[in-house]
Amino acid sequence: MSSETETQPDVAQDGHHGERRDTLTVTDNRTGKQYDVEIDDGTVRSIDFRQIKVSDDDFGLMTYDPAYLNTASCRSAITFLDGEAGVLEYRGYPIEQLAENSSYLEVAYLLVHGDLPTQAELDEWTHQVTIHTFVHENVKSFMQGFRHDAHPMGMLLGSVGALSTFYPDANEIDDPENRYIQTIRLIAKMPTLAAFAFRHSNGQPYVYPDNDLWYPGNFLNMLYKMTELKYEPDPRLERALDILFILHADHEQNCSTSAVRQVGSSRVDPYSAVAAGVGALYGPLHGGANEAVLRMLHRIERKENIPDFVAGVKEGKERLMGFGHRVYKNYDPRARIIKQAADDVFEVTGKNPLLDIALELERIALEDDYFIERKLYPNVDFYSGLIYEALGMPVSMFPVMFAIPRTSGWIAQWLEMVQDKEQKIARPRQIYTGQRGREYVPVGQRG
């Protein structure tokens, strides 16, 4: 809490405190009153400013922060980012170590539980996910209802939300066992829903999960199995996909995770909250950026067109998709790892010709003052699409590839939010700019 101070704070003549206090002393020049506001973990509580009033019937001060540029919405122990240094850690483990040594399912366990699993815990977790990969048969007829050219992300959005109707007990969010089985189901079923959307787009029969296969391999199986009795994924592609899934698993309070937390704060079931996350990730400024990057590279088409494109960016006519980040003002550590994974995939699939354009675009941008001044570096979306395209996916599947692994981050953040005693239904205020007290005029008398 904080308090209103009538007297001057104990600031010595040389401007130094008598004793150092973690508080902010605020003077309201409208009234001359001073207020001490506590500083906690590098933040001040917005509600502490409500006491600053000019009269007893004054509502008090609010803080105004469109797009939450400088607002912490929660306390979280899941993911740590240092944007200036380009550091990303899941539960304290550097992303570089996890990408090199771990697997996506092990990382999903880490995000949800907070620690790396023992072998027995990992085996049980993997078993639970594996036996929950099937979806209700009605989901297939639901999927058939989409147009042949429906965007897979729209199909995923609809089908994830629809899962809440198959598990009506999922809204018992105070029951730990219930929360756990919904966690398992969401992580397990996202690849199945994604693959069904892909097969629907291609007019191909849906492929059921093969529980003998590893998580990424099973996803490739559901995407690409045709008439062979058993699909055998290339282990190099499986490993590359697993690394991509690790890199995309969580990223603290990004737009889609904030959407999951906000919607989840109404105590709705986790399927509906995750569907909100899918909707937010769909946007071209967020998870849809990997799709926008490929469309941009195809439009550039040749290296010699890059200078004109970059000029268009500087004139504000274009946006360099896959560059820039709200937090990273340095190279996104995930982009660096993805760039390495791309080489492994291209060994199998052959190099994506757009890679040379992407590398040249990055080289030019990193030397250009416009981008340097704005601290615009490649982010996670700049290179990932090149891999997905090399794997034979249409660009419309790229945001879906982001949503699959991000599900473990979304559900980990949802679990943390529903158990956080500080949290309640999220309901921001506003600055009202409209008119007041207008008299209703019958339609016949309106000008």
Rounded CA-CA distance 298/295 in Å is 5
Which C-beta is closer to ligand SDX: that of 132 or that of 339?
Answer: 339
Rounded to 10 deg, the angle between the 104-113 and 398-418 helix axes is 20
> Max CA-CA distance within the chain?
84
- Is residue 323 involved in binding ligand SDX (CB under 6 A)? yes
Q: What does the DSSP 8-state code read for residue 231?
A: -
Q: Is 329 in the site for ligand SDX (CB under 6 A)?
A: no
Number of Cβ atoms within 10 Å of the Cβ of 261: 25
- Does position 313 interact with ligand SDX (CB under 6 A)? The reply is yes
User: Which residue of the set 28, 286, 344, 368 is catalytic?
Assistant: 286
| Residue 329: half-sphere exposure toward Cβ, Cα within 13 Å | 6
Which is the catalytic residue, given 132, 200, 248, 325? 325
Dist CA 252 CA 255 (whole Å) = 9
- If one asks whether residue 289 binds ligand SDX (CB under 6 A), the answer comes out as yes
Residue position matching structure tokens 């191909």: 204
| AA identity, residue 204 | Q
Residue 414 CB neighbours (<10 A):
26
Instruction: Give 91 or 200: the residue with its C-beta nearer to ligand SDX.
Output: 91
Binder among 107, 320, 390, 417 for ligand SDX (CB under 6 A): 320
Which strand (E) or helix (H) includes residue 4? strand 3-5
The partner residues of 82 in beta bridges, in order of sequence, read: 87
Query: Which one, 271 or 371, has the nearer CB to ligand SDX?
Result: 371
**Shortest spacing between CB 78 and ligand SDX, in angstroms:** 13
Q: Do 194 and 219 form a contact (C-beta atoms < 8 A)?
A: yes
> Of the listed pieces 47-55, 139-147, 322-330, 354-362, which binds ligand SDX according to CB under 6 A?
322-330
Please identify which residue in 86, 161, 270, 322 interacts with ligand SDX, judged by CB under 6 A. 322
* Residue 248 annotated to the active site: no
Among the candidate windows 33-41, 157-165, 371-379, 392-400, which touches ligand SDX by CB under 6 A? 371-379
- The rounded distance, in Å, linking the Cα atoms of 300 and 303 is 7
Active site residue 17: no
- The single residue listed with the structure tokens 């790396």 is 116
Q: Is 79 in the site for ligand SDX (CB under 6 A)?
A: no
Per CB under 6 A, the segment of 3-11, 105-113, 284-292, 337-345 that binds ligand SDX is: 284-292
Among residues 77 and 285, whose Cβ is nearest to ligand SDX? 285
The smaller minimum CB distance to ligand SDX, of residues 214 and 323, is found at 323
Amino acid at 429: R
Residue from 45, 319, 329, 351 binding ligand SDX (CB under 6 A): 319
**381 interacts with ligand SDX by CB under 6 A:** yes
Position 336 contacts ligand SDX (CB under 6 A): no
Among 321, 357, 387, 403, binds ligand SDX (CB under 6 A): 321
CB of 79 to ligand SDX, least distance (A): 9
**What are the φ/ψ torsions at residue 276 (nearest 5 degrees)?**
-65, -40
Residue bearing tokens 């509502």: 59
Nearest Cα neighbor of 2 from 56, 57, 39 is 39
362 binds ligand SDX (CB under 6 A): no
Of residues 229-268, those binding ligand SDX (CB under 6 A): 251, 254-255
Write down the least CB distance from residue 44 to ligand SDX, Å: 22
Stretch that binds ligand SDX, among 96-104, 153-161, 238-246, 325-333 (CB under 6 A): 325-333
Q: How far is the CB of 82 from ligand SDX (least distance, A)?
A: 13
Positive or negative CA dihedral for 298, 360, 362, 398?
A: positive
- Could you tell me which stretch among 129-137, 214-222, 301-309, 315-323 binds ligand SDX (CB under 6 A)? 315-323
C-alpha 333/C-alpha 378 separation (Å) is 9
Structure tokens at 139: 């989901």
Active-site annotation holds for 381: yes
DSSP string, 85-122: TTEEEETTEEHHHHHHH--HHHHHHHHHHSSPPPHHHH
Active site residues: 286, 325, 381
Binding site for ligand SDX (CB under 6 A): 251, 254-255, 285-286, 289, 313, 319-327, 374, 376, 379-381
